[in-house]
Amino acid sequence: MSTKKLRIIPLGGMGEVGRNMTVLEYDQNILVVDCGLMFPENDMLGVDIVIPNTAYLVEHKDWLRGFVITHGHEDHIGALPYVLPQVSAPIYATRLTRGLIEVKLKDHKLLEKVELHTVQPGEKVALGPFNVEFFRVSHSIPDAVGIAVDTPVGLVVHTGEYKFDYTPVHGSPTDVQRLASYGARGVLALLSDSTNAERPGSTPSERVVSESFDFVFSQAKGRVIVSTFASNISRIQQVIDSAVKQGRRVGVVGRSMVDNVRMAADLGYLNIPPGVLLPVNELEKLLLHQVTIVCTGTQGEPTSALVRMANQEHRQVNIMAGDTVVLSATPIPGNEELVARTLNNLFRLGAKVFYHRLLPVHVSGHASQEEQKLMITLTRPKFFVPIQGEYRHLVLHSELAQQLGIPAENVFVIENGQVLELDENSGTIIRDGVPGGYVFVDGLGVGDVGAVVLRDRHHLSQDGFLIAIVALNRETGELAVDPELISRGFVYVRDAEELLAQARQQVVKALEKQASAAHSFGFEERIKEVLTEFLYQQTKRRPMILPVVMQV
């Protein structure tokens, strides 16, 4: 038994959606589980993606023994291209997950620089003091695993993302035998998926979706267009299966989806009878009822294939009356408006549309409350740490654990950047642990957009700006030319000539009052004050006001 402590440090996925990353640390050894991205919330203006804060990892580069990846969704692998250039370590993943990582690394020209290892469920890997065993879980993507990590302090089980789907589309169900055996051996800590902690009962099997697809395909008289996530290989298989039953061919639209389908087919994760998969341009030669199209766009993303099709802006396929369109996903919180807009546009074009409110064309990939209870009951952990969920999900999940008899002092709700220190008997949370905040990626910039830039973007988005340029003669201190006002996003400039002329007068007046000072010191403050007050009084708006005083 060890006198040193095991440290569990979430750098993502705790108290928020996505960006999953959990650090296990023992005696200057670090194991990282997952490395995902998060899609920006609506008020993270101009941000492309959000990744975990790796300051702590960078600081302790030498301690890093490896990355272990539970499955191939973006929120578990998407930050790898941004994190790997900062800290390097071997990556361990199952075959399909590795395939998806490779597609991504190739895109970023990083594939040659990274050490990748393929693992199988049941396989064990020793990484420093950590003995990692992978176990099968069912999720909405094939080849998902959880991990059981033997540490000097005890056995830690990290579920990855799972549900107890007894009839999954691909492979075997979640390995209840293995989980029970961990419980029999004794689990120090269970880190378990909290996403659906609000949902009573059990999550339906993926098979429900197949039944819906069969219904949709059987009633469709024209083309069937199914949108899903590019990484949702199981869902793509289900589309292919239903298409084949109805004698349809399948075309894949969109580069990310084409890449993933090719890779998954090569690796044997997609079962496609010969002749079924066709290039999109060859679909045009078929009758409409022979055509199936798979594409992205379930979240109403403006650049996705489905949205461009719905806006009649797609290069190859545009929606027309008689098409049947399926959105095989639920909106991620924050995307509801974009999804609603896409649905409305599809209806306007006369498509027959199926989505989650009308038919179970999607089921969640996450365990609901009864399954969460089963996970705890199988593994019988001493300590319980809810992971992967917004803060309220973590709390609700921790309440479930307590209902099952785990004492409150053994249940730890921690957030990103906090550190949980465990020994065999007890745990302590260090609230002010390590940097865990958001890191924004915007264009080429990783981490350079922060609170100040976002606050300015927010201000500009609400009321625009007005810049007052004043050129003073450097000898006389008098106006060299009339002040110039530049404004965007505040008022429609062409219709606001009088307002702007009056504002210019205000600037001139403000200068006259201070002209005696013969210096521009204080001019900028004075101009800003006068314009702010004048414009608010006239419009009840508060544009960003920037005075520029130049000596010429």
Nearer to a second copy, 85 or 450 (CB): 450
Residue 126, interface with a second copy (CB under 8 A)? no
Query: What is the token pair recorded at 203?
Result: 């999550």
**Minimum separation from the CB atom of position 199 to a second copy (A):** 8
537 burial level (CB within 10 Å; 0-12, 13-18, 19+): exposed
Residue of 448, 478, 525, 533 that binds a second copy (CB under 8 A):
448
Nearer to a second copy, 28 or 312 (CB): 312
90 DSSP assignment = -
Between 9 and 197, whose beta carbon lies closer to a second copy?
A: 197
Binds a second copy (CB under 8 A): choice among 122, 279, 333, 407: 333
Q: Which helix (H) or strand (E) holds 400?
A: helix 391-403
Among 10, 12, 15, 381, binds a second copy (CB under 8 A): 15
Contacts of residue 262, defined as CB under 8 A and 6 or more positions apart, other chains included, come to none
| Least spacing, CB of residue 467 vs a second copy, in Å | 6
443 binds a second copy (CB under 8 A): yes
Is 471 a binder of a second copy (CB under 8 A)?
Answer: yes
Q: Which two tokens stand for residue 442?
A: 């915007």
Between the alpha carbon of residue 338 and those of residues 37, 244, 299, 321, 352, the distances in Å are 20, 32, 7, 21, 19
Kindly name the residue from 143, 193, 259, 323 that is annotated as catalytic. Answer: 193
What is the per-residue binding string for a second copy in 478-507, x denoting contact by CB under 8 A?
Answer: --xx--x-x-xxxxx--xx-----------
Residue 27 bears catalytic tag: no
Q: What tokens appear for 468 in the block?
A: 């007052």
Plot region of 34 (φ>0 → left; ψ -120 to 50 → alpha; else → beta): left
Regarding 452 and contact with a second copy (CB under 8 A), the answer is: yes
468 bridge partner residues? 485, 547
Q: In Å, how far from its chain's centre is CA 170?
A: 24
* 87 three-class SS: coil
Instruction: Candidates 102, 123, 150, 198: give the one binding a second copy (CB under 8 A).
Output: 198
The reply on whether position 541 binds a second copy by CB under 8 A is yes
Per CB under 8 A, the segment of 41-49, 96-104, 141-149, 234-242 that binds a second copy is 41-49
333: left (phi over 0), alpha (psi -120 to 50) or beta: beta
Scanning residues 254 to 293, which ones bind a second copy (CB under 8 A)? none
Q: Which amino acid is at 23?
A: V
Instruction: Give the residue, chosen from 347, 407, 476, 502, that forms a contact with a second copy under the rule CB under 8 A.
Output: 347
Please give the residues from 386 up to 405 whose contact with a second copy meets the rule CB under 8 A.
390-392, 395
Closer to a second copy by CB, 286 or 496: give it: 496
By CB under 8 A, residue 81 contacts a second copy: no
Distance CA(141)–CA(137), nearest Å, equals 10
d(CA 93, CA 98): 5
Q: What are the Cα distances from residue 94, in Å, to 55, 72, 101, 141?
A: 28, 9, 10, 12
Q: Give which of 513, 223, 484 is closest to 351, Cα–Cα.
A: 223
Is 193 tagged catalytic? yes
Q: What is the smallest separation between the CB atom of 259 and a second copy, expressed in angstroms?
A: 21
Tokens of 150: 């033997």
Q: Is 364 in the site for a second copy (CB under 8 A)?
A: no
Q: Which is nearer to a second copy, 97 or 330 (CB)?
A: 330
- Starting at the edge strand found earlier in the chain, the sheet holding 49-51 runs 49-51, 439-442, 445-446
- Please say which residue, 287 or 552, places its beta carbon nearer to a second copy: 552
Coil, helix or strand at residue 42: coil
Active site (catalytic) residues: 193, 366
Q: Which residues bind a second copy (CB under 8 A)?
A: 15, 41-43, 45-46, 198-199, 333-334, 336-337, 340, 343-344, 346-348, 353, 357-358, 390-392, 395, 442-445, 448-450, 452-453, 456-465, 467, 469, 471, 480-481, 484, 486, 488-492, 495-496, 538-541, 544, 546, 548, 550-552
